[in-house]
Amino acid sequence: MGYNILLIGSSSGIGLTFHFTRLAVALKRLGNKVVVLSDNKEQYANLPKELNRHGIKRCTTDGIDDPDIMSMIRCAGDIRKILRREGNFDIIHAGGVKHGVKVHLATQILNNRPKTLATIGSLPGSRIGMGIASISYSLFYDKCIALCNYTRERLIKWGINPSKICVIPLFAPDLEWFDKAKKVKINLEDYNLEDVTKPVIFYAASHFHHKGFPYYLMAASTILKKFDATFVVGGKGPLTNSLKNLTEKLGIARHVVFTGWISNYHIPYVLSNIADICVSTSLVEQLPSYIMECMAAGKPVVASRVGGVPEIVINGVNGYLVPLHDYAETAQRIMDLLSNPEKAQEMGAAGRKMIEKEFNMKLSILKLLKLYEESVKG
């Protein structure tokens, strides 16, 4: 059975995102009618074209991701207009806390109120923020989708009824798309990767404090005393210049490549054809798409034991888990893989197998459709 779905695929400061676009396309492929609502901005210029190519209508409104009262009133009105114009929706699948009040206001006067679901894309860092989030999820949504068991446990701790929470790794790799994209050659000069010395150790994320890049670079400093390798720092952010300064201070600048922001469309090729070992020294995570993409590319992962990461990185099987802030242990585990290429290859293959069997978009969408069915019938 196909469903009529309004997907609010917008993220604060970004608008329409790559991952929500892939989610919308996957839902459409399985026979659902999907309308996407987002802010006027978009993460990549071709995302609306991709939606259109698959017969998915995109609607926009200003301030869908903003928390102020005027945005709430205006966006609730815009959502109500979409509901009237596009016909009866079975499901409104929103992005989280900031969309909750707007969806609630927009649907209160409807005779046939759609079921409302929220994807928990992030967890607030403060007690006040988490308190507000728990109220929003409890009052304004019929169901909450946690990306991993770690998130589910956090939500329960903050008072959300366990029966309202379903665990679905929604942003797991779309393997059909990923395996095609990894074969499409890109211009490596755009990312300063045209002449890198193998082996290549890789970490990409936005350059914020909680991503823990200094620990990655300090681990690199230790490793380079014994191995010749290239360390890739993918992404950009407010800490980019300080990270470059740190490589100079550590005396490793000539072994470190800063790529700038790597397009999600190019990540499959870079991971599959450039990286040898993938790393995440992040201090805060739920279920990182980046790590799952590394596994989809068949690469071993060395990652901080944080959030939902232990649910996908099985220590000693498809990679290694290391304590937070422990750059020495991170360095040791990377050197273990450098010293044993066969073991590294086995771990990479085990990671790919896990993605194929447990953590991929196809399986996630089937779980999501089951949740839709239970919500509509319930």
Q: What's the CATH code of the domain at 164? A: 3.40.50.2000
Residue 280 has pLDDT above 80, yes or no: yes
Residue with tokens 């993460």: 43
Q: How far apart are CA 19 and CA 12, in angstroms?
A: 14
Instruction: Name the pTM for this structure.
Output: 0.95
Angle at 281 between CA 277 and CA 286, to 5 degrees: 105
The mean-pLDDT minimum among 92-96, 125-129, 158-162 falls in 125-129
Whether 337 and 373 share a structural domain = no
The span from the CA of 274 to the CA of 190, in Å, is 14
Instruction: Kindly tell me the number of DSSP H helices and DSSP E strands found in the chain.
Output: 14, 15
Helix ranges, 112-254 (H): 127-140, 149-157, 175-181, 213-223, 240-250
Same domain for 135 and 189, yes or no, is: no
Instruction: Indicate the DSSP class of residue 170.
Output: T
Does residue 9 surpass a pLDDT of 90? yes
Q: Within 10 Å of residue 376's Cβ, how many Cβ atoms? A: 14
Clarify whether residues 286 and 187 are in a common domain.
yes
Q: How far apart are CA 368 and CA 370, in angstroms?
A: 5
Residues 6 or more apart in contact with residue 36 via CB below 8 angstroms:
7, 8, 9, 16, 20, 21, 24, 51, 56, 57, 58, 59
Q: Which of 72-81, 264-273, 319-328 has the lowest mean pLDDT?
A: 72-81
Q: Do 140 and 75 sit in the same domain of this protein?
A: yes
**277 pairs with which residues across the strands?**
201
Same domain, 114 and 211: no
β-pairing, 165-167 with 4-8? unpaired
pLDDT number for residue 3: 95
Residues 155 and 192 occupy one common structural domain: no
Q: What's the number of domains the chain is made of? A: 2
Cα distance between residue 329 and residue 321, in whole Å: 9
Q: Give yes or no for a contact between 246 and 222, defined as CB atoms under 8 angstroms apart.
A: no
Q: How much of the chain, in percent, has pLDDT values that exceed 70?
A: 99
Residues 243 and 343 in one domain: yes
Helix 341-357, helix 289-296: angle, nearest 10: 110
DSSP annotation of 261 reads P
Q: If pLDDT is split at 50, 70 and 90, which confidence band does 281 have?
A: very high
Residue 220 and residue 228 in contact, taking contact as beta carbons nearer than 8 Å:
no
CB-based contact 5:27 (threshold 8 Å): yes
**Which ranges of 212-360 would DSSP assign to H, the alpha helix?**
213-223, 240-250, 267-273, 289-296, 327-339, 341-357
Of 74-78, 221-225, 276-280, 329-333, the range with the lowest mean pLDDT is 74-78
**Using CA atoms, how far apart are residues 98 and 83, in angstroms rounded to an integer?**
19
Kind plus residue range of the DSSP H or E element containing 230: strand 230-234
Q: What angle in degrees, to the nearest 10, is found between the helix axes of 213-223 and 240-250? A: 20
Give pLDDT tens digits for 60-114: 999 999 988 999 999 999 999 999 898 889 999 998 888 999 999 999 877 778 9
What is the residue range of 257's domain?
177-357
Residues 218 and 104 in one domain: no
Q: Domain check: are 221 and 352 in the same one?
A: yes
Nearest to 125 by CA among 160, 145, 154, 165: 154
The per-residue pLDDT for range 339-372, each reduced to its tens digit, is 999 999 999 999 999 999 999 999 999 999 999 9
Give the model's pLDDT for residue 54: 95
d(CA 7, CA 32): 12
Torsion angle, alpha carbons of 219, 225, 226, 227, to 10: 70
Per the document, the length of the chain is 378
* pLDDT band (50, 70, 90) for residue 48: very high
- Nearest CA-CA partner of 164 in 207, 118, 114, 121: 118
Residue 192 and residue 130 in one domain: no
| 1 pLDDT above the threshold of 80 | no
Give alpha helix (H) positions in 10-93. 18-29, 47-53, 69-86
Half-sphere exposure of 84 (CA within 13 A, CB side): 9
Residue 323: asked if its preceding bond is cis (omega within 30°), the reply is: no
Of 54, 272, 293, 65, nearest to 169 by C-alpha is 293
In a shared domain, residues 70 and 135: yes
Start-to-end CA span in the chain (Å):
16
213 and 154 in a common domain: no
Summarize pLDDT for 29-44 with one digit per residue, the tens: 999 999 999 999 999 9
